Amino acid sequence: MQPNSTYGTNSAQKGRTYPVKSAFAPCLRAFKAIAPVGWCLLCAAFLIACQDTRNIEEQSSEEHNELNELNAVSENKSIARAANVTAIKTEIKADVANLTHQRSLTPKSATHQPTPPEPETAAALPDEVPRKPFQPVPGTSWQWQLSGTLNTSYDVAVYDIDLFDIPKTTIQQLQTEGRSVICYFSAGSFEDWRIDASDFTQEVLGKPLGNWPGERWLDIRSPIVRQLMSIRLNLAKLKGCDAVEPDNVDAYTHDTGFPLSAADQLDYNRWLAQQAHERGLSVGLKNNLEQMKELEPEFDFAIVEQCSLYGECERLKVFTASGKAVFRAEYGESLMGDEILRNSLCKISNREGHSTLILPQLLNDRFRFDCLND
């Protein structure tokens, strides 16, 4: 069989060459000439395409790794954020619980929650066996000292001392020796040196109190003031005081900076007496001779200063007539140096059933004369 002469090669016989028609010769020669170059270009293109594919795969891999890292970071941030939110929620719950507790201790009409003067003065007091009420009778001996180192050597039935300054151990010592203890605090004035001074808000502070530095009158109508006085009464109970002496309870007769009326004062003083009695404390009415007749039924004794100087001692009969003690102080060294005047004053005092001391106005035990015993 003759091979087809149209083709230059036979697939069955690769090594042999056959004649080609003359019309295709130029094209064939040209193809042979450029074939090596074409193959090179084709290979180059193939290699470039492979490299591009590899680069794309590598880039895709890097992007995938970066995406994984971002996801991991995001997940860690989410975990951290969740932990932070949990911590914040815990703090909020604690704050809410604390606020709820504080509000439970604050009167509904108060806008400020005071801080107790001492850690032991909690709002809720532990139950105790009620003590026998302290009811001093006319002629009861006493010592009154509110500043300086307390002198506990006087042979008297009653000591009147500062609520804040004297420790509980001293009160217990006096009671062990058979003495009753009255604890003094100011119920009508702010004192800037007291441990609870920062709890008095500005709106309850009035004008300065006479010549007493650091003192200002209080608005006794304020529930904030009453809350603070309740805390002080708690302190008196916890320290074991037998009675209290709330001072400056005649504010309505002074220029306090507040429009206080006699009715305001009566209401406040009766409230003080009620609060003291609820805690098992006896309570004395300090000065306020103008309202003694109205207030005597609520109070257990009276404490007055210089009624002789102001000619007001006659008003004290309302207490002695009810079998209640009148603890009285007259100030001035002139009385100590004038034996005739002093003896005359003491004679009248003893006849009226008063327990009168001649003392320095600072009540620092610099000198002392007792009309009952000296």
* Alpha-carbon gap, residue 296 to 326, rounded angstroms: 11
- Contact yes or no for 182/160 (Cβ under 8 A): yes
142-370, CATH topology level: TIM Barrel (3.20.20)
Residue 240 has pLDDT above 80, yes or no: yes
Q: What is the mean pLDDT of residues 323-338?
A: 94
Strand ranges (DSSP E) for 170-313? 180-186, 189-191, 205-208, 215-218, 243-247, 282-286, 301-305
The CA-based dihedral angle spanning residues 224, 201, 167, 238, taken in that order and rounded to the nearest 10 degrees: 20
Going from the C-alpha of 214 to that of each of 89, 92, 197, the distances in angstroms are 44, 40, 11
pLDDT at 355 over 90: yes
Measure the CA–CA gap between 123 and 20, rounded to whole angstroms: 124
Give the separation between CA 219 and CA 222, rounded to whole angstroms.
Answer: 6
pLDDT tens digits, 130-172: 566 899 999 999 999 999 999 999 999 999 999 999 999 999 9
The structure tokens 């650091």 sit at 214
Long-range Cβ contacts of 132-135 (<8 Å, 24+ apart) = 133/280, 133/282, 133/300, 134/180, 134/242, 134/243, 134/281, 134/282, 134/300, 135/282, 135/300, 135/301, 135/324
pLDDT given at position 131: 60
Q: How many residues does the chain have?
A: 374
Residue 302 has pLDDT above 80, yes or no: yes
pLDDT at position 206 is: 98
Band (pLDDT 50/70/90 cuts) for residue 33 is low
pTM of the model: 0.68
Once rounded to an integer, what is the mean pLDDT over residues 219-238? 98
In order of 13, 226, 229, the CA distances from 109 in angstroms are: 119, 11, 15
CA 27 to chain centre: 108
